[in-house]
Copies of this chain bind each other. A is one copy, B any other.
């Protein structure tokens, strides 16, 4: 990524000790003065102008005041000016949120940023209708603010509470973490889920779960409740992906990377270690091999034979057709 160095301006919520709980960025600018994010058109001269704020120089001082005013910074918030020079590991909460923003703003693709250390640098917040609250301060806060509801207690917030990319539908925002990458034309139904550093590269219908690190190619369809194996927990260490024009059937599961135009039958969980009967177009057995050996190959159909119970792989001739009506997300 040659977007670095960059500077970002925003505001952060604080707990009673003054620790940052989150950061909401409003402006992101590269050293080449490319504006990566500035939806509200905040005014500044150029990158050096923003750099002046970091140095706390007299020039930067009045710009800072302007931002504080425009961002309606109040006593529980503070202005955040943050620079990342190189794509190194995550060292603080400002790094963490900025990288999650780069992903959800579609500036950086999943697996293209160094996210080491992100868990350690994100505080675990109670996410309430009054914003993030330090869990230790929650009981006292509730007593003062009737009708405080805690929608999650997590290190990651919901993406839609920070960023809503254009051309997407997201039926249940609580299932998309900040740091998800959703291409235009993506529809996430209620049973869909997208972790940070994961997502879709084009039009897609997602009713299943996209684990951290997993990427789905364009025109692919993840059926209701289907699972893609992640690498964060559960012992799997191969990075899963789905190519273009693929279909994972409802309640199916995927433990290998798929090529293009592949189908996994509804209800079939294909792990890397599954032994699979490979058939040719005539239905003749060619070989028996581990599913992992079929990784990233195209035009395959995976089923469980309903009479013999064996997992089989056949040439796939069926085209997955997304329903256009469902992807005109205007």
Q: Which residues of chain A have a CB within 8 Å of any CB of chain B? A: 39-40, 70-72, 119-120, 123-124, 126, 129-131, 135, 138-140, 143, 146-147, 149-156, 158, 160-161, 164, 166, 168-175, 190-191, 193, 205, 207, 209, 211, 221, 223-225, 227, 229, 232-235, 247, 249-253, 255, 265-269, 271, 274-277, 288, 304-311, 318, 320-323, 325-326, 328-330
Contact = CB atoms under 8 A, between A and B. Distances in A.
Contacts of A120: 325, 328
Given A175-B172, A233-B322, A255 B251 contact: no
Contacts of A211: 224
A160 B154 contact: no
By secondary structure, the A interface counts as loop
Total identical chains:
3
A24 to B, nearest CB: 9
B266 A267 contact: no
B153 A129 contact: no
Contacts of A227: 223-225, 250-251, 266
A86 to B, nearest CB: 23
B253 A266 contact: yes
A306 B173 contact: no
Contact of A155 (B39, B119, B169, B193): B169
29 contacts: A40-B140, A40-B143, A119-B325, A120-B328, A126-B164, A129-B129, A129-B147, A149-B160, A149-B161, A150-B164, A150-B173, A152-B172, A153-B160, A153-B164, A154-B170, A154-B171, A174-B190, A205-B233, A205-B234, A227-B250, A227-B251, A229-B250, A234-B247, A234-B249, A235-B247, A235-B321, A255-B266, A275-B306, A275-B307
Contacts of A326: 119, 232-233
Contacts of A307: 275, 277, 288, 310-311
A240 to B, nearest CB: 11
Contact of A135 (B119, B164, B232, B275): B164
A174 B192 CA distance: 13
B130 A147 contact: yes
